[in-house]
Structure 1
Amino acid sequence: EDFMVIGPSEPIVAVLGGDITLPCRVSPAMDVGNMELRWFRSKFSEAVFIYQNQREQREEQLAQYRGRTSLVKDFLTQGDAAVLIHNVQAFDNGLYTCFFRMGIFYEEANVELKVAGVGSAPQVHITGPEEDGVRVVCMASGWFPKPQVQWRALSGEKFLTFSETQAQDGEGLFTIETTLVVRDSSSGNVTCSVLNPILGQEKAMAIFIPEPFFPQSSPW
């Protein structure tokens, strides 16, 4: 009996450390409880979850998904199946394929998972004078994906020129360090903000730069 497998039309957003389901369904709707259901990463053998002969099969499952995945069985008779991933990690980010087989007939569909995590609030400090201004450094860690960084003046105006470095830790989370040179001694406060582009969540910290910190211009 022929069928189509349909995945979500939009990427699914998962929060770091949370749980997420990757759903797929067959059309026309039919009982999929007797089918082989498989979710895998870039290769068929990179199995995230396998359900075969009406039970979970763990032999081919990737080690990093063992004990972290389960099948949502509530709607199998209606043609809906989903794998639940617990404790989402940065490496879960990306494409999945769901593969449904009945006898020799099979179909598959793609599911895109976007993992997002908000890390530490930025730490801002003055590191010293610089040419004709004051050097300010901002650091934040534990973000995913790479966050967007912005420096703003008290007026709300954005500083466009600053340097930025980034690194990823063993879990794939980003640490960023950004350096701004403030040249206007009347700036007062500057704010470093770090934004997660997927969640739209931001953390910010302001620092006050006292005027005496700026290099004094010679009166003659």
Structure 2
Amino acid sequence: MACNMHKTMIAFSILWSLYKGSLSAKYKVVSAPSVVATLGSDVLLTSLLAPEMSGEKMEIRWFKPMYRPYVHLYINGKDDYTAQMPQFANRTELLKENITRGIFPLMIRNLTAQDSGKYYCYVESSDHHSMATVDFIVTVPCHPKTHSHKESGVRIPRDVSINQERQSQAQRSDSPKEGAVGSPPVISTIADDTVFCESDGWYPEPYLIWTDNEGNKVMPSMEKVFKDEKSLYQVISAIYLPPTSSNITCTVSSSLNQSKESSRQIRAVGSPPVISTITEDTVFCESDGWYPEPYLVWTDDEGNNIIPSMEKVSKDKKSLYQVISAIYLPPASSNITCTVSSSLNQSKQSSRQTIEMRPVTCRDQYSRYIVFCACLVVILMLLGYICFLLKRLGELQRNVNGNL
């Protein structure tokens, strides 16, 4: 009974891990990797969900450097300032005009030098969470050595000075510059059926193209272009994986005939499962070379699922998966099947082997009977010895009472 309970607990933990893994990522929080702003100004720290979805019912938490107290918190459909860092009191605002589209930048007003640092944007829904980081730097503006407005006795209104600053920034950002070739595209997966590609440091504004292993274009499900403080562009795009492609390529190009591309394997059918017996009652199955992460199912000769006693999934140097599983042999089955599968976009690749189990013979039954009888004899001997000790203890107690 205890052994069966132990097997059940192990199986439950494995199934729970697989269940949590099936709740794969549904979105990614995207933000500009770095932001620079001047002392005393206001800044927007951009953040959005990809693919586009509503963030109205999610928890949105900006913090640095600790989760709590936080910079700003939006939860249960409203802002919560109860544990806000004192230095940000009355200076933050989460802009919600486009929150139903998954866009919710954070406004920080009247910047101080202490506001510099790494910021984290953490977003959590009922079944998933994701986080992005922003390196934020507050700089001190450099002023030319001319007589100040204070010295001349003339005070310039703040809104006029801000407009002048914005105009000068616009003139600087609109000034002609040579083309800039961005970083190599980085392809990442956040779910079994969704792939992201991002690249930054481009000028002029780039465009991104997805192609499958046959050179056919794949339409993106989401695409965003950002401009950083240096007026360089960052592009982020996502696709739902084509049902038959094994490789995907992301190419980022500019109008100056400059381009960079990256490719990634998105599917691989692994080796046929190899079944081996380690002991008389334990069987192992393993298979490698799979992508994405596979799942393994044991069945008996009647097609009933067998809960594994152990299962482990690992990733090799090529980012391909290997799965190893073990079961205790059911006494009544004559054949065991191990099936390893990987599902993407409702397509399924499988490979299986069958092992014939040695049927239970009269000799096996006789051996088990001998073992059972031996265990029973040992238990009876222990019980007899305990009864003898109790009897002796009672006699000693009576002798002591008689002497008294």
What are the ranges of 5 or more consecutive residues in structure 2 without an aligned counterpart?
1-24, 146-228, 231-404
The separation in 2 between residues aligned to 1:104 and 1:41, in whole angstroms, is 24
Out of 30, 33, 42, the residue aligned to residue 6 of structure 1 is 30
Identity %: 28
Number of the residue aligned with 1:45: 68
The separation in 2 between residues aligned to 1:114 and 1:84, in whole angstroms, is 15
What aligned pairs does 1:25-64 form with structure 2 within 5 A after superposition? 25-64=48-87
1:104 deviation in Å?
A: 4.3
Number of the residue aligned with 1:102: 125
The separation in 2 between residues aligned to 1:25 and 1:40, in whole angstroms, is 16
Aligned AA for 2:103?
Answer: D
What are the ranges of 5 or more consecutive residues in structure 1 without an aligned counterpart?
123-197, 200-220
Number of the residue aligned with 1:213: none
The separation in 2 between residues aligned to 1:2 and 1:40, in whole angstroms, is 22
1:52 deviation in Å?
A: 0.7
Structure 1's consecutive aligned runs of 4 or more residues displaced over 4 angstroms after TM superposition are 119-122
The separation in 2 between residues aligned to 1:74 and 1:82, in whole angstroms, is 10
Greater share of residues in strand: 1
The separation in 2 between residues aligned to 1:91 and 1:2, in whole angstroms, is 35
Number of the residue aligned with 1:115: 138
Number of the residue aligned with 1:190: none
The separation in 2 between residues aligned to 1:110 and 1:79, in whole angstroms, is 17
Are residue 70 (structure 1) and residue 93 (structure 2) matched?
Answer: yes
Number of the residue aligned with 1:18: 41
Number of the residue aligned with 1:206: none
- In the superposition, the TM-score normalised over structure 2's length comes to 0.29
Aligned AA for 2:114?
Answer: F
1:106 deviation in Å?
A: 1.0
1:2 deviation in Å?
A: 1.6
CA spacing shift, 1:104–1:59, aligned 2, 3 Å: farther
- In the superposition, the TM-score normalised over structure 1's length comes to 0.52
Number of the residue aligned with 1:81: 104
Cα deviation digits, residues 1-23 of structure 1 (max 9, x gap): 721111113x1111110100111
Aligned AA for 1:25?
Answer: L
1:46 deviation in Å?
A: 3.3
CA spacing shift, 1:104–1:44, aligned 2, 3 Å: farther
The separation in 1 between residues aligned to 2:75 and 2:90, in whole angstroms, is 17
- Secondary structure at the residue paired with 2:105? strand
1:74 deviation in Å?
A: 1.7
The separation in 1 between residues aligned to 2:38 and 2:68, in whole angstroms, is 26
- Secondary structure at the residue paired with 1:99? strand
Question: Which one has more relative contact order, counting CA pairs under 8 Å at least 6 apart?
Answer: 1
- Secondary structure at the residue paired with 2:61? strand
- Secondary structure at the residue paired with 1:64? helix
Greater share of residues in helix: 2
The separation in 2 between residues aligned to 1:105 and 1:60, in whole angstroms, is 23
Number of the residue aligned with 2:362: none
The separation in 2 between residues aligned to 1:7 and 1:46, in whole angstroms, is 22
The separation in 1 between residues aligned to 2:49 and 2:144, in whole angstroms, is 44
Out of 85, 88, 92, the residue aligned to residue 115 of structure 2 is 92
